[in-house]
Amino acid sequence: MKTLLIAAVTLIVPFVTPAAHAADDAMLGEARKVATTLPPKLLASLQEEIKKSGPEGAIPVCKDMAPKMAAEISQQTGWKIKRVSLKVRNEARAIPDEWEKAALEDFDKRAAAGESPAQLEKGEKIGNEYRYVKALPVQPLCLQCHGPADQLSPAVKSVLGKLYPNDQATGYSVGQIRGAISVRKPL
């Protein structure tokens, strides 16, 4: 009987494992698509607002509009989406949980070892949900508010000081990992 059970498992496992991998691949693809929806919308809104009112006038795009954009994407897709960082600007929204923190720390190590920050991602099933994070590398536009503190304009410093008295999100250079887009969905 034991031999028959082992034989049955040996015959079934090769067919179950590819199906499980296919499901994981499908979830990864879906998560990747959702996560990559927000950054281009945010960038376009930032560029438009910077043209109208300068970088200090565009700070509300990240503060107020980005969470609204994320909420819309969440409502459309069923995925919860947010931005997280190890160097937090918005303490109410951007503090990573332990899983996100571990992924961000791993991204930093991998980037330091030469991997392209734009390619860094992690997706996996955790309990009864699928989790995914994708690194957000600093773009040249980002430096106006996230660059070295001594290079920020007085107007940007003033607005950041009022809105984010505990701001940690400066001192970056182009290509560094600013944070990540994090998405999750119940299975």
User: How many other CB atoms are there within 10 angstroms of residue 10's CB atom?
Assistant: 9
CB 139 within 8 A of CB 40: no
Provide the domain count of the chain. Answer: 1
Q: Is the dihedral of CA 88, 93, 96, 98 positive or negative?
A: positive
Give pLDDT tens digits for 93-111: 999 999 999 999 999 999 9
pLDDT (0 to 100) of residue 21: 61
What is the model's pTM?
0.85
Mean pLDDT value of segment 61-84: 96
CB 24 within 8 A of CB 125: yes
pLDDT (0 to 100) of residue 161: 96
User: The domain containing residue 19 runs over which residues?
Assistant: 2-186
Hey, what's the torsion of the CAs at 146, 149, 152, 155, to 10 degrees?
100
- What are the respective helix, strand and coil percentages of the chain, to the nearest 5? 60, 15, 25
Tokens of 74: 């969440």
pLDDT band, very low/low/confident/very high, at 45 (cuts 50, 70, 90): very high
Q: Which of 40, 50, 69, 36 is CA-nearest to residue 143?
A: 50
The label of the residue with tokens 């920050």 reads 117
User: How many other CB atoms are there within 10 angstroms of residue 88's CB atom?
Assistant: 18
